[in-house]
Amino acid sequence: MRTPVFLLFLSLFTCSTYGQLVFDQPEQSFKARPEQEMIVAKYRFINSGKESVKIENVQTSCGCTTAALKKTEYAPGESGEIEAKFSFGGRAGKQEKAIVVTTSHARDKPTVLRLLVDIKDPVQIQPQLVLWRVGEQPNAKKIQITVADDASVKILSVASDNPSIKAELSEVKPGKEYEIEITPSDLSQPAGATFLIHTNYPTQNPRTLYAYARVK
């Protein structure tokens, strides 16, 4: 029964062990809100081999993710951890970052640690921009504000910084759905407005959100 296939199959399996360092959780997922601004993930590992292992390189895929180690050499049986910090930098949605760990024991088979974060902004403004062309009919346009299921956010007020482009807030479903109706009074020349949307979220530090109108 010793066929070439089985041998190939077995060798493929052994290729998947990462040197001698065995990681508890090489892949970690998080859910976060944008205002958290960063996530710290700890990757614990243990030296399961008979020799001392030196971590030669810990490389992140780019600048938004940093990784830190307390020391580089681990005796057999010793455990340690790699602390990864991912700064959101304004990002939203599903993010996936990677940390590549190269050890002295398996230089050509680095370990890949993954950090997955789903950054969900509970408040969605769609669209953030309403646009008219010069000479168009000054019909009103609407901006929808939707709040995620697991949150309740109150839109307190909406103000326009341009009196000739008015913004009117209406509550479709308190705490859940709002609508802003934008009405320009004059489309004979280019113009613009910024709308300040005041919310009560998060309670410690309520955010002002923005939307814009342009006449081009």
Partner 1 sequence: MKPVRQAVLILLAALVPAGVTGLVHPRRPSWSEETLAPGEEKLKTVLAWGTAVLWVDARSQREYETEHVPGSLLLNLEAWDSLFPRFLDQWSPGRKIVVYCSSRSCEMSHEVAARLEQNGISPVYVLKGGWEAWKAAR
Partner 2 sequence: MGFSFQFGRTVGFIVRVVLGGLFIFAGIAKIYDPATFATELDRYQLLPWKICVAAADYLPWVEFLSGLCLFLKSFERGALLLITLLLSVFTLALASALVRGLNIDCGCFGQVFASTGTILPISRNLVLLLLAGILWTRYR
- Cβ distance to partner 2 smaller for residue 8 or 40: 8
Which residues lie closer than 8 Å to 95 by C-beta, 6 or more apart?
A: 86, 88, 116, 117, 118, 119
Which of the 8 DSSP states describes residue 133? -
SS3 at position 11: helix
- Decide: 39 and 99 in contact? Cβ < 8 Å: no
- The residues in 29-68 that bind partner 1, with binding defined as CB under 8 A, are 61-65
Considering the complex, state which of residue 9 and residue 210 has its C-beta at the smaller distance from partner 1. Answer: 210
Select from 36, 61, 152, 157 the one that contacts partner 2 (CB under 8 A): 61
Instruction: Specify the residue, 21 or 211, whose C-beta has the smaller distance to partner 1.
Output: 211
210 binds, among partner 1, partner 2, none (CB under 5 to 8 A by kind): partner 1
Residue 140, CB half-sphere, CA atoms under 13 Å: how many?
11
Pairing relationship of beta strands 129-132 and 208-215 according to DSSP bridges? parallel
Q: Any bridge partners for residue 114, and if so which?
A: 27, 98
Footprint of partner 2 on residues 122-161 (CB under 8 A)? none
Of 4-12, 47-55, 117-125, 199-207, the segment contacting partner 2 by CB under 8 A is 4-12
Closer Cβ to partner 2, 113 or 165, answer by number: 113
Interface with partner 2 in residues 109-128 (CB under 8 A)? 109-110, 112, 114, 116
Selected from 32, 46, 92, 100, the binder of partner 2 by CB under 8 A is: 100
Task: Pull the structure tokens for residue 182.
Answer: 């934008």
φ/ψ of residue 51, rounded to 5 = -115, 165
- Which residues in this chain contact partner 1 in the complex, by CB under 8 A? 61-65, 89-92, 97, 126-129, 131, 133, 192, 194, 210, 212, 214, 216
